[in-house]
Amino acid sequence: MLGLLAALMVAMPASCGTPDRNRDDAPHHYVFFRRDHERITDTAFLNNTAIVGAQLTYTWRELEPTPDHYAFHAIHDRLKFLRLRNKRLFLQLQDVSFSEAVVTPDYLRSDSTYHGGIARKYEVGADGVTHFGGWVARRWDAAVRARFARLLTALAREFDGQIEGIVLAETSIAFEDPAQQPSGFSADSYAAGLRETLTAARRAFRQSCVIIYANFMPGESLPAVDRGFLRGVHAHAAAIGAGVGGPDILPNRPFQRSHSLALIEKRPAGVIAGMAVQDGNLADRNRSTGQRITVAELYAFAVSRLRLNYLFWGTEEPYFTADVLPFLRALPVR
């Protein structure tokens, strides 16, 4: 009962984000500039009235270079620039990478309290061979989670109500070979750790929206192997007033259709959702017709099936200039 009451106390109001814009009738459009933050000065972005704002990625490493020493000046600068031009800011906070890039602070690796702080992850490629797939913070480790929660609290102290929202990076990681699993990891502890981090984010951000990219989870493969991990993250988000989403809109992919897309489509009323159109999404083809998906088709799926509140459009070329921007310019002004 106490847990339920606590969840209700932090439940997100329907007006999270920007109260003077209604993003429930049709999704708000953002450009996902990733790490190319300087591109917020592009006139094609600034002059497009259908685009509400920018989504920018920041890493844990750059925001907290040393324990409890936070470097938020760059966010302040970008936020000021955008607000002067009537654009909003959505942050994406990365504690996971998909390359050799380490996105967590060095002190996590040097202090034994954090048991190494990060772990290598491994995924099976299209060739059937297991490959190194990047780094992930030890999300299942209570000591590491506590440090990440402190960062979330510090960010909220500076930006809650000033930014539209914050995205927690995708949940999908893999350790395909059991021998490659890091110490202390289990699928159960990983799922529990994600739920705790999501709670920490909602407790910190009371006005700005909180979205977790809950797309896949280690230890299960829906619908055949369902241990309740992904469903549990989505259910927890709904219970505490957080939003859900994912890094890819791929309606022609069976694996996506059986995981994040299905859960987003069936989410309870009042739960916000935001998804990104990332590299490869607009190059995807319908398996039956062989035709490449169009921006209009993807948008229709996002609106009619997923009922998205936020769409974060990536800048992959040639699609961004040739297809995305003209489509957005043609939308009616809201």
- Please give the share of the chain, as a percent, with pLDDT higher than 90: 80
Q: Looking at residue 229, what is its pLDDT?
A: 97
- Does 132 have pLDDT greater than 60? yes
SS (H, E, C) the chain: CHHHHHHHHCCCCCCCCCCCCCCCCCCEEEEEEECCHHHHHCHHHHCCCCEEEEEEEEEHHHHCCECCECCCHHHHHHHHHHHHCCCEEEEEEECECCCCCCCCCCHHHHCHHHCCCEEEEEEECCCCCEEEEEEEECCCCHHHHHHHHHHHHHHHHHHCCCCCEEEECCCCCCECCHHHCCCCCCHHHHHHHHHHHHHHHHHHCCCCEEEEECCCCCCCECCCECCCHHHHHHHHHHHHCCEEEECCCCCCCHHHHHCHHHHHHCCCCCCCEEEEECCCHHHCECCCCCCECCHHHHHHHHHHHCCCCEEEEECCCCHHHHHHHHHHHHCCCC
Q: Supply the pLDDT for residue 177.
A: 76
pLDDT tens, residue by residue, 221-259: 999 999 999 999 999 999 999 999 999 999 999 888 889
CATH architecture of 27-330: Alpha-Beta Barrel (3.20)
The arithmetic mean of pLDDT across residues 153-170, rounded, is 97
pLDDT in tens, 193-215: 999 999 999 999 999 999 999 99
Q: Judge whether residue 186 has pLDDT over 50.
A: yes
Higher pLDDT, 25 or 56: 56
